[in-house]
Amino acid sequence: MFLRSHLVIIKDAATQPSLVIVYFGGNDSMRPQPSGLGSHVPLPEYVENMRKIAKYLKSLSDCTRVIFLSAPPVNEEKIRESWSDKNQELRRTNELCRVYSEACIKLCGEMNIKAVDLWTAMQKRDDWATACFTDGIHFSPEGSKIVVEEILRVLKEADWRPSLYWESMPTEFGEDSPY
């Protein structure tokens, strides 16, 4: 299993996270390189890896909540602009991102995990391809804003006790506090 992770969560730790957001799929959905190297993960393996991650995170604590973010779309035209060989087949395509996004959303439904469908959410904007990405792949401030809005929407709508939505959380200091 190939994981690009920046956080290690230890099952027997005294304190477990309240919320874990899992975001894999964008690189996994790339076409494989002829050399066999690269980030591509075949769809069945991607789904199985995501299932293992979900099971592990759900086993940490009754209080650990999980949200999966699906693969976002890409701006193929912008990606193609940066390539020296304009006739070369794109390794990142919107269609492949859609397939991986749908697989993630389906898995989340099966496992009762909250999900953000980034592929669909981004494309609700008419100008998504130019407004949401800096280079066709990485989010611009507008793209990041959509991600945040979608995560907040899930947090607000989730039937979690206690709620993890910021307006529902108790404040540590009163409004008249200097802190």
pLDDT, greater one: 168 or 143: 143
pLDDT at 4: 47
User: Which range (24-33, 135-144, 161-170) has the least confidence?
Assistant: 161-170
- Which tens digits make up the pLDDT trace of 100-119? 999 999 999 999 999 999 99
- Which tens digits make up the pLDDT trace of 122-151? 999 999 999 999 999 999 999 999 999 999
Q: Confidence band (pLDDT; 50, 70, 90) for 3?
A: very low
Q: Which domains does the chain have, with CATH numbers?
A: 19-78+91-168 (3.40.50.1110)
Q: What percent of the chain has pLDDT over 90?
A: 56
pLDDT at residue 16 tops 90: no
pLDDT at residue 32 tops 50: yes
Question: CA-to-CA distance for 24 and 81, rounded, in angstroms?
Answer: 25
pLDDT at residue 1 tops 80: no
Size of the chain in residues? 179
Q: For the whole model, what pTM was predicted?
A: 0.83
pLDDT at 82: 78
pLDDT at 10: 72
pLDDT at 26: 87
